[in-house]
Structure 1
Amino acid sequence: MFLYSCSLVKRVPDGEHLLEENKIVVNGEPKKNEELTDQLYQQPNTSILGYHLRLHLYNIAKPDADSSYQAWLERKPNRHERLRKLLSEKQVQRLGQSFAVAGVSSFLKKVGEAPVLVDHNRVKKSANRLLSYYYKRGYFRTKVGFSIDTISGKKAEVNYTVTTGKPYIVDSLDTYIETPVLDSLYQQTKKESLIKKGKQYLESDFIEERERITSYFRNRGAYKFQQNYISYVIDTVNTGHKANVDLIIDNETIRTEDSTYTQPFKLYKISQVNIYTKNLGDESQAIDSTTYKGFNIFSSGKLNYRPKALTDPVFITPGSTFAEFRRVLTYRYVNNLRVFNYPNINFVVDSTDASGTSLITNIYLAPRDKFKYLASVDLTHSNIQDMGIQGSMGVSIRNLFRGAEILDLSIRGNIGSSSDPAIKDRSFFNILEYGADAKLNFPRIFFPLKTERIIPKEMIPSTLLSFGISRQKNIGLDKENFTGILSYNWTPKRNVTAKLDLFNIQYIRNVNPTNYFNVYRSSYDRLNDIANDYADQIDPNYFLDSDAPAGSKQLAIEEGTNGFIEDVDNNNIVVSSVDKQNIRSINERRERLIENNLISSTNFTYTTSTRDNLTDNSFFIFKTKLETAGNTLSLISSLTDKGQRSDSGNKTILDVEYAQYVKGELDFIKHFDLRRGKVLAMRAFLGLAVPYGNSNSIPFTRSYFAGGSNDNRAWQSYSLGPGRSGGLNDFNEANFKMTYSTELRFNLFGQLNGAIFGDVGNIWNIFDSQDDPAYTFNGFSSLRDLALGTGFGFRYDFNFFVVRLDLGFKTYNPGRPVNERWFKEYNFSKAVYNVGINYPF
């Protein structure tokens, strides 16, 4: 209310006008597209949903805080003198410069935005820019006019009137190429020309055609060719809105000390490739050299690399024609090795070649340090840990086997304090985690058979062999975890990546399964409530206090909980069919989560993106993943099966049931740049995992959950779904997930950005052991179980990362009764606060 009471024109001087709106009319039709409005030198003050926040902040600030302070000092007799006696003259003047007096206004001016005043000169320049905009699109006879119309309250709008006339059409394209070899090359590619007869004149076509021809020539031997040798002559005189184009490519210009002359361009071949590297551990100046497949390799000191490791990343080969793309590929491959600093590649004309058409390539590789040490210490807080101290130490060893391999070794640990009642240890540091990892990276496909025909080295392939172990103590079921991965990565083309995990093995052992009901309290509470309904039939020893009044008894963990479940299952205690089904569901979930898991999977991930760099706000990313698990172990089990099966009848490997399933995922992200700091971002995700063979459900670690700071932000992690069940468990998960999120991002001021968002989605069970319709996906009718969360957030951009705070509100909650799903929890007391690093998508 206070901000709205401030007038927008409060700081607009008399005789000036606040720019309210720009209007552009083209050939009698109003236009509002961003590309046109971006041509204007003056834009109205920024707004958020129509509200000029930054302008209001600027208006609140005092125009001259120092003068106002001096006037305040002199406003009452003796005020200045009294302050001088109380403080000192120096301190009185400093008071005027303090944040409370002048700093607030300075801050508001900095984060605010001064009123945009209509400037006649800038309006005129904007009109000329509109004229240029249409001229570049073939409207050579465009006329642009403008008017400044004042409206009430010191405001004005600027109207631009554009009359384009007919566009000019390319009628002919003639070429004049002085160098015969270039003329021959051009004839091979002229069909690909962007300048075509019958096409409307576009200046961008001429620019891109110049770049295309230059790239084509330089990739076919024209080492000295540059764009400035290409020019155009366009004739539009008395042609009836037709453009006749002459494409001119001059000879090479040679400049000497006192003269300039021209000569035809030459096409160059590579006569030699010299690779220079250093031995950081050898101070000797002796040069070690060798030759490998035509490459000359030189090292200052003993050569520490196998020759193949140095030549594999080089795409410039002796005897090949000079091609710019080969140099670019070499840069990318060498830089991707992470063994050398960014390489230096240059070409020198070979003076021994009488024809002058040979080049010597010199490649300089500066090795990075062989050892790189890493250490970190973090303070952590989570819903499990009140406070934790986490640390890690690691070392990277480069060029381990003299083939540019990298070995990463690391150990990590965490000690934490938790007041969780499930943890019986009451000492301050009662949580412990530790683990170790080893990763070995090969800059090639590490496989017994040759794969270069399938994955050539132009795709920059690499192999990652990874092993990891970890252990938890006093956290949940106290898990032990072992992982082993053999992964291949390559880049089929620019902005496209492929990854194949040939083997991804994970073994999870629950050390303390008897702690289940202490950890999953919601399951215990549901079981205990049912037990109290049948207390008269239950063995009194199952309760901690058998003398407690009915309805308040507590089942003992494990004796009471397990005994009650077994008695119901054996019909020793007669309960209703509904309660029996609920008890069975609780026990099935318990057995599933306390069982040890053995997962051996193979997965393939394909990702394509149009994003050019981190500042690109208009792009899409599409990622698809297919995973299968258990097939290899099933084959091994069938070959070695000696009747070893679990109590449930499933096959085992080393006394552990192995998981068997197939899983597919689709993930799509799209960003739209709305200009002036506004971005519309959206994400759609679909994932399904189907158990078969040796499994009737998906392992907990490979299942889906909903909620959290990167998902549906109106629910906490694992608290949404499945379906319309209402999130009854402590950790709700399922094997089918569908989500869609969108958010509008905008700048508030400075580095602070805001966002409004909407998240819709849920998880369900499908094709597994769950048959409760509240949990399962049953076709289109289950789409009514999609949960909707909306909210707003703030992001502060530190340039190298973004800190994010989001407030999510449950707009539509499928877990509530049908007539209570919309807006029943839409208030701050039920809001979910999410803190995250970087954007959610």
Structure 2
Amino acid sequence: MQKNAPHKVFSLVSIFHKLSLMVVLYVLSVSCSNTKYLPKGEKLYTGAEVKFDKHYKSKIKASALEKMIRPLPNSKLLGLRVKLYAYNIAKEPKGKGLNYFLKRKFGEPPVLFSTMNINRNIDLLTNYLENQGYFNATVSADTIDKNRRVKAMFKVNVGNRYRINNIVFPSDSDSLNTYIRSTSKETLLKKNQPFIFETIKEERIRIDAALKELGYFYFNPDYLIMQLDSTNKNNTVDIYIKLKKDAPDKALHVYRLNNINVYPNYSLEKDSTYNLSMAVKYHDYSIVDVDNLFKPITFDRAIFFEKDKVYTRTNHNLSLNRLVNLGAFKFVKLQLTDADSLSRHLNADFYLTPYPKHSLRFEATGTSKSNNFVGSELKVLDRNRNFLRGAEQFILSVAAGFETQLNGSAPALNSYSLTPEVSLTFPRFVTPISRINKAGALAPKTKITANYQILTRSDYYTLNSAGLFYGYSWKESLRKDHVFNLVAINFVKPTNTTAKFDSMLVADPTLKASFQQQFIIGTNYNFVYTNQLESKRPNNFYINANIDFSGNFIGLLMPGKESVDNPSKIFGTPFSQYARGYVDGRHYWNFNRNTTWANRLFMGIGYAYGNSSALPYLKQFYVGGSNSVRGFRARSLGPGTYPPVTDNTTFPDQAGDVKFEFNTELRAKLVGIVKGAVFMDAGNIWLIRENPLLPGGKFRFGQVFNELAVSTGAGIRIDASVFVIRFDAAFPVRKPWLPNGDRWVVDQVDFGSKQWRKHNLILNIAIGYPF
């Protein structure tokens, strides 16, 4: 063996050298072949490089300047211009097909050096550097020309950067200049900070926004001039803020509101504004609603303008936001015009185009798994957008779903659900405190919901659940949403239990407690904080926090002390007592328009006490399924290291009091509306109390990460913006029920094995993204 070792090493080195030579030859061949397709006399532009003079330090990176230079060169993949090569080798397409795809969709035409204007790029870079405070910056350029390929080289001498020395606001004593001077404490211009032109522009916008709040409706940021004095010897600049002398007279005066007219049935096609003589007067508003579609009080709650009050941009935006978020109008337009040529008053006309009063909507979801489980849910919603003529939304929906496992000659395992629901949403707080409805940019809402669900699992039980909810929702700001259900009542009653299921309840007291007939009476609060609506941010986040209490207030009213053995009852039925909460945090890093890295972390815990020894079935946590740990069936995992049921005649139904889950997914556009993703999911559930029938299920903080299940996979998404159809294939790579040291099963992955695929590979079909 020892004698042959050197030969083996030599053989490997020889193979490596040959492979390296092949790669080099391939790179050279592709590079050369791209230039041979160029038109006669043309050269391929390969990009630009920026270098700074070493005598001066710059806070600006060379890469930032290189991105500004135009045109951009052809893109590269692993150092090769693959898209350019595909464009070159494709023939001119005569129709759809491979040549069309390579030439029009995938390929890139060559970027010719003749299209680059060196002097224009020098001016562009110089101007940018001056706007960053480098007033003495100079830029020169040269080119490197080789084998019909040209690279541009830019040399930058930035000089010293100028900083702000003094900021001088207007000293005149008239009202407008006095108001401008009064905003100086909020200025964005700070002494000793670098001079940046963008900050100058933002300062003008800030002053304009402050003046809009004081009634200067016709003012404009362009009416402000920022005079610079850079004659100081220490590379500093003084900034003088002044009004332009040619600013129009209208911009220098405060405006108040005159007539406020509302047209709630406006149509651009019909020009149905009607005559103001047909208007109904209500408080400060004239409402032209000849069809009597809306109660006048609807607009009093939504519009923040008042006659003879000073115009403010805040009330302007609040009014538009409130009207849009009523959900009754397709288009909302506000037109402000001079009341007359002499007075400083504005007429406000609100043109509102309503949605159709009734709409019908269908929703469908589906799952199909390689272990023969298939399922689907169909939901039908009938919506009335103006139920009581106050923009109330009345929704009647019915959802029906099923899941079944087809297993050859064995009897099919079926699960069916039917859920009718009715809800009524008022675009205000239904409360005796009327002033509270004027708070916030978006309309606060009161929602009343009643539902009933019948869930049948063949060979086990039928679970009947009736719910009644009364609560409020409001949007504190663009980022913050609140939902507070003051009353949340559920009545749960299992029926038609089979002997098989009854024997399971007898053997497992914890399972019996979670399935007993009971009331769930309490309150819950949900808070969402997100910046996802701010589309310009490269990274977005979403946090959903929920707390849920049951039986607390009722327990205080009951005589005696509640206990599991002697529970307090309402109408002869015990009520559950628990505290439950969770946090769902998500982060989205957008590398560019086509690539996003999405992450989610979920942590939840619930604790039953008093009347209850276990959380109600409806309130327990579970993992697995199309929106969770996708390499495992829904409810099949945990708790803890307890092994999943492998009996095909049993439905997976594992649940717990504690849940921890982490998901990461890289999403990228493939072509058109087709997107791809690779993902990894990890998670599990645990029990707060020990259950001898579920050994290994008790929560132990120090063992959380050691007891996580992990799966990975890839997916295809048809993202048509309006809807998303998702196909995710996943398989487990870590099984927590296996002995320590054997839980990672990556080495067992075998896509070629039919037996492995049958027991491990799961295909999930769903609507929408998992998170």
SS of the aligned residue for 1:711 comes to coil
**C-alpha deviation, 1:202, in angstroms:** 0.8
Q: Kindly indicate whether the alpha-carbon contact (under 8 Å) linking 2:218 and 2:251 is maintained by their aligned counterparts in 1.
A: no
Q: Distance in 2 between matches of 1:818 and 1:631?
A: 42
1:487-502 equivalences under 5 Å are 487-502=471-486
Select 2:337's aligned residue among 326, 344, 348: 348
Give the CA deviation at 1:436. Answer: 2.4
Amino acid at match of 1:824: D
For the residue of structure 2 that corresponds to 1:444, the secondary structure is coil
Distance 1:515 1:385 in 2: 26
Paired with 2:585 and 2:365, the residues of 1 have a C-alpha distance of: 34
1:683 aligned onto 2:600: yes
* CA distance, structure 1, for counterparts of residue 377 and residue 684 of structure 2: 33
Matched, 1:397 2:319: no
Task: Check 1:372–1:457 CA distance in 2 against 1; reply closer, same or farther (3 A cut).
Answer: same
Question: How many residues end up aligned between the 2 structures?
Answer: 721
Q: Is the 8 A contact 1:445 1:463 kept in 2?
A: yes
Q: Distance in 1 between matches of 2:266 and 2:66?
A: 58
Alpha-carbon offset, residue 614 of structure 1 = 6.1
- 2:90 corresponds to 1:63: yes
1: distance between equivalents of 2:669 and 2:66?
19
TM-superposed CA distance for 1:171, in Å, is 1.9
Q: CA-to-partner distance for each residue in 1:284-310, whole Å, 9 max, x for gaps?
A: 9996554444x1333343645443222
CA distance in 2, matches of 1:365, 1:485: 32
> 1:464-493, CA deviations, whole angstroms, 9 ceiling, x for partnerless residues?
111112334565623322121112111112
Partner residue, 1:755? 677
Determine whether 1:631 maps to 2:552.
yes
Give 1:461's aligned residue: 444
Match status 1:659 vs 2:576: yes
3-state SS, counterpart of residue 810 of structure 1? strand
Structure 1 residue 223: deviation in Å?
1.3
- For 1:432 and 1:772, the matched residues in 2 are separated by 27
Map of 1:725-740 to 2, 5 A cutoff?
A: 725-728=642-645, 730-740=652-662
Q: Which moved more, 1:430-439 or 1:808-817?
A: 430-439
- AA aligned opposite 1:747: K
Distance in 1 between the 2:528 and 2:764 partners?
28
Distance apart, 1:207 and its partner CA? 1.4
Question: In structure 2, what is the equivalent of residue 715 of structure 1?
Answer: 632
Pairing 1:668–2:585 present: yes
Q: 1:218 aligns with which of 200, 212, 234?
A: 212
Q: How does 1:566-605 map to 2 (within 5 A)?
A: 584=507, 587-588=508-509, 590-592=511-513, 594-605=515-526
In the TM superposition, residue 222 of structure 1 has moved relative to its aligned partner by 0.5
Partner of 2:158: 164
For residues 8-47 of structure 1, the C-alpha deviation after alignment (integer angstroms, 9 at most, x for no partner) is 4375123777777765444559987875553243556556
Report the Cα distance in structure 1 between the residues aligned to 2:363 and 2:523, rounded to whole angstroms: 34
Q: 1:37 to 1:635 in 2, by over 3 A?
A: farther
Residue identity opposite 2:658 in structure 1: F
The separation in 1 between residues aligned to 2:514 and 2:411, in whole angstroms, is: 21
| 3-state SS of 1:311 partner | helix
**Paired position in structure 2 for 1:374:** 360
2:747 corresponds to which of 818, 824, 830: 824
2:35 matches 1:13: yes
Cα distance 1:839–1:140, how it changes in 2: closer, same or farther (>3 A)? farther
Scaled by the length of structure 2, the TM-score of the pair is 0.81
Distance 2:275 2:121 in 1: 64
Distance 1:423 1:291 in 2: 73
* Match in the other structure for 2:430: 446
SS of the aligned residue for 1:662 comes to strand
Q: Do the aligned residues in 2 keep the contact of 1:34 with 1:675 (CA within 8 Å)?
A: no
Report deviation, 1:278: 4.9
Aligned equivalents of 1:679, 1:835: Cα separation in 2: 21
CA distance in 1, matches of 2:64, 2:500: 60
- 1:475-530 CA distances to partner (integer Å, 9 max, x unpaired)? 5623322121112111112221111111222223322221755xxxxxxxxxxxxx
Decide which of 488, 505, 527 is 1:504's aligned counterpart: 488
For 1:702 and 1:763, how far apart are their aligned partners in 2? 13
- What is the deviation of 1:215? 1.0
Q: TM-score normalized by structure 1?
A: 0.75
Change beyond 3 A, Cα 1:600–1:158: farther
- CA gap of 1:757–1:164, structure 2 versus 1, over 3 A, is farther
Residues 55, 425 of structure 1: CA spacing in aligned structure 2 closer, same or farther, 3 A cutoff? closer
The amino acid across from 1:243 in the alignment is V
Q: One-letter code of the match for 1:38?
A: K
User: How far has the Cα of 1:321 moved from its partner?
Assistant: 1.0
Aligned to 2:532: 611
Q: Distance in 1 between matches of 2:88 and 2:110?
A: 16
Q: Which moved more, 1:195-204 or 1:397-406?
A: 397-406
Write out per-residue CA displacement over residues 572-608 of structure 1, whole angstroms, 9 at most, x where no aligned residue.
Answer: xxxxxxxxxxxx5xx3365246433532231111212
The separation in 1 between residues aligned to 2:393 and 2:399, in whole angstroms, is 20
CA contact (8 A) 1:61 1:104 kept: no
SS of the residue aligned with 2:529? Answer: strand
Equivalent residue letter for 2:465: N
Q: CA deviation at 1:251?
A: 5.6
Instruction: Give how far 1:212 is off.
Output: 0.8
Kindly tell me: are residues 234 and 288 of structure 1, through their superposed partners in 2, closer, same or farther at Cα, counting changes over 3 Å? same
The answer for the alignment partner of 1:78 in structure 2 is none
Contact kept in structure 1, 2:440 and 2:475, CA below 8 Å: no
Most deviating of 298-307 and 21-30: 21-30
What is the CA–CA distance in structure 2 between the aligned matches of 1:420 and 1:140, rounded to whole Å? 78
Q: Distance in 1 between matches of 2:345 and 2:484?
A: 42
Q: Which moved more, 1:325-334 or 1:597-606?
A: 597-606
- Given the alignment, which residue of 703, 706, 716 partners 1:794? 716
- 8 Å CA contact retained: 1:601, 1:629: yes
2:264–2:288: 8 Å Cα contact kept in structure 1? yes
CA RMSD of aligned residues (A): 4.2
Which residue type is aligned with residue 504 of structure 1?
Answer: A
Once the two structures are superposed, the pairs formed by residues 390-539 of structure 1 within 5 Å of their partners are 394-413=381-400, 419=406, 433-447=417-431, 449-450=432-433, 452=435, 456=439, 458=441, 460-473=443-456, 475=458, 477-514=461-498, 517=501
1:692 — aligned with what?
609
One-letter identity of the residue aligned with 1:190: S
Corresponding residue number in structure 2 for 1:701? 618
2:70 maps to what in 1? 41
1:244 paired with 2:238, answer: yes
Evaluate the alpha carbon distance shift between residue 132 and residue 705 of structure 1 in structure 2; reply closer, same or farther with a 3 A threshold: farther
Cα pair distance change 1:155/1:776, threshold 3 Å: farther
Alpha-carbon distance in structure 2 between the residues aligned to 1:279 and 1:748? 43
Q: How many angstroms apart in 1 are the aligned matches of 2:373 and 2:704?
A: 39
Sequence identity (%): 21
> In 1, Cα distance between the equivalents of 2:377 and 2:730?
30
- Could you tell me how far apart the structure 2 residues matched to 1:333 and 1:364 are? 14
- Structure 1 residues 43 and 743, CA gap change in structure 2 (3 angstroms): farther
C-alpha distance in 2, partners of 1:379/1:836? Answer: 6
Bigger drift between 8-17 and 331-340 goes to: 8-17
Find the residue that maps to 1:233 and give its secondary structure. strand
Q: Is the 8 A contact 1:498 1:605 kept in 2?
A: yes
* CA apart distance, 1:217: 0.8
C-alpha displacement of 1:232: 2.2
User: Which residue type is aligned with residue 303 of structure 2?
Assistant: V
- SS at 1:217's partner residue? helix
1:211 CA displacement? 1.1
Number of the residue aligned with 2:255: 268
Distance 2:372 2:743 in 1: 33
Cα distance change, pair 670–8 in 1 and its aligned pair in 2 (3 A): farther
Distance 1:486 1:276 in 2: 33
Paired residues of 1:466 and 1:484 also in contact (CA < 8 A): yes
Task: Using the TM superposition, give the Cα deviation of residue 374 of structure 1 relative to its aligned residue in structure 2, in angstroms.
Answer: 0.9
SS of match in other structure, 2:586: strand
Change (3 A) 1:666 1:231: same
- CA distance in 2 between counterparts of 1:699 and 1:333 reads 39
How many angstroms apart in 2 are the aligned matches of 1:141 and 1:514? 87
- Would you say the 8 A contact 1:118–1:156 is kept in 2? no
Code of the residue aligned with 1:401 in structure 2: it is L
Q: 1:35 to 1:244 in 2, by over 3 A?
A: same
d(CA) in 2 for partners of 1:482, 1:715:
30
* Correspondence for 1:835: 765
